[in-house]
Amino acid sequence: MSRYYTRVCNFYYGNESKKLVKNKKSIALNQIKEISFDQIEIITRKSKKKISIDQIKNLSQPLKNKINLDLKKIKSKKKNFANLNFQNIPNILGVLNLTPDSFSDGGKFNTKKRGVTQALHLFSSGANLIDVGGESTRPGSKKIKENLEWGRINKILKSIGKKIPLSLDTRKSNIMKRGIKLGVRLINDISGLNFDSETINVLKKYKIPFVIHHSKGIPENMQKNPNYKNVLLDIYDFFEKKIKLLRSIGINHNNIIIDPGIGFGKNLKHNMTLIHNISIFHSLGFPILVGNSRKSFVKKLSGKNDTKLRIGGTMASSIYLMMQGVQILRIHDVNEIMQGIKVFKKIINN
């Protein structure tokens, strides 16, 4: 039997969604009546086919069983953790780069005063968590020594780690341990937990929520002709195998987030395929995080209309991702994106 994947699609949002769910014409995502769907796409590595939810009953028994198992995960209510509220999406992960060389804001916040001020600004603007990083992982960047990375972030963590909710963007297990002791609530490792062999042991010991991030290669080489057999299904399989590994070593909690890694070992076509089909990852059963903020796809798609901050492209992609049920967006310009989301929600529910 072929390997089948279930992608929910044809989403409805707001009051229209509530009416359809009430009349049993659509299925609520994660029991959130404000966002629902009435179609699924059945995908294999050789084919894809969209059907309405009322046609599922006509499928062969093995395929129907598979899809119903996926739908059980897709329909299940997500439990909140790390100051993230999965009944009110999207949540916002505010970006705080304490580096001299990050791709869009390097050097802007790499002092204690400026870093603390920006963290407080992001949080007051509506971010659920502030993602603090002391090492740039932009394409072409090189790893730095642990002491240098810790030196960039420790004063910030000590100042605000117990006051506002923080996520820690690091690949190094010792940095994770030290951050957790200072109040960090979420670990965001862009290497997919692969950079440091001790990382999984730290996650197991402290039982802390964490992100599984997909990245092909390492920052030094990840944009040198990345290739996949099927980018969407290859990354889906990566997550499935990683979760199986984590379960096998005793990490049994569900406070896990998956991030397909837009721009990390992907070209424009890969990124567009992932964003367009992002709802396939709901069938894994975990909240989805997407880092769409200021990414290079905005420049490539907008051409001469590109701007340094890329707020327009970030806003457009954020609305699309929200309407595909993505639970968390990683954002630099929190105030502007929150403004756009609030206005959109008011208009669609008017």
- Active-site annotation, residues: 295, 330
For the beta sheet containing 129-133, the strands, ordered from the edge strand earlier in sequence to the opposite edge, are 256-259, 210-213, 186-189, 166-169, 129-133, 91-97, 328-331, 289-290
Tell the burial category of 80 from Cβ atoms under 10 Å away from its Cβ (0-12, 13-18, 19+): middle
Give the contacts of 146 (CB within 8 A, at least 6 positions apart): 172, 174, 175
- Look up residue 323 and give its two tokens: 């309407």
**Angle between the N-to-C axes of helices 173-181 and 146-160, in degrees from 0 to 180, rounded to the nearest 10:** 20
Distance CA 244, CA 253 (A): 12
Could you tell me where the beta strands, DSSP code E, fall in the chain?
Answer: 5-13, 27-29, 32-43, 48-52, 91-97, 129-133, 166-169, 186-189, 210-213, 256-259, 289-290, 328-331
Which residue's entry shows tokens 């209309």?
305
Q: Is 288 helix (H, G, I), strand (E, B) or coil?
A: strand
For residues 74 and 111, the answer to whether their CB atoms sit within 8 Å is no
Distance CA 252, CA 271 (A): 31
Distance CA 137, CA 190 (A): 8
For residues 73 and 285, the answer to whether their CB atoms sit within 8 Å is yes
Q: Is 315 helix (H, G, I), strand (E, B) or coil?
A: helix
Distance CA 327, CA 233 (A): 20
Distance CA 6, CA 280 (A): 6
